[in-house]
Structure 1
Amino acid sequence: MVEIKLRDEYIKLGQALKAANLVDSGVMAKMVIQDGMVAVNGEIEYQRGKKLVDGDIVSLEGEMIKIVK
């Protein structure tokens, strides 16, 4: 599991995927999100701009990201 430390109150889903190196670009992030491949806290998420906060867990193809403050 990759941990992403917040610099602000939140990080957007697309940015988190890029920061964790699960996608190469914002375009790729948009594609995997729109295709329903990304879950936030166990629920499929379709919004690239979804705000992630401390404690959120993101998963993509078996890879996990934990958002920490």
Structure 2
Amino acid sequence: MARPPIDDVPLAAEPIRLGQFLKLAGLAEDGGHARELIEAAEVQVNGRVETRRGAQLRAGDVVAVQGRRARPVVR
């Protein structure tokens, strides 16, 4: 089975916190939903489960949630 495409999400600057990125990328509806996804261990960063909402992401990190993938890019 093919892996889902990775959506590039433009940022003005880096780093960005994981919870903020989930909202910006449309992977979470709001901050509460982002927290629930992270606490339920449903979020992966670069292939590893991430349980820290404040984890710092940099350009090129790949975030996966429920079959969707996105990565921050600085424009």
Q: Same fold (TM over 0.5)?
A: yes
Q: Kindly report the root-mean-square deviation, in angstroms, between the aligned alpha carbons of the 2 structures.
A: 0.9
After superposition, give the CA deviation of every residue in 1:8-67 in whole Å (9 maximum; x if it has no partner).
221111111111111111011001001000000000000011110011000001100111
**Shift >2 Å, 4+ stretches:** none
Give unmatched runs, 5+ long, in structure 1: none
Match of 1:46 in 2: 51
Aligned length: 69
State which structure, 1 or 2, has the greater radius of gyration over its C-alpha atoms: 2
TM-score by length of 2: 0.85
Match of 2:24 in 1: 19
Match of 2:68 in 1: 63
Give unmatched runs, 5+ long, in structure 2: 1-5
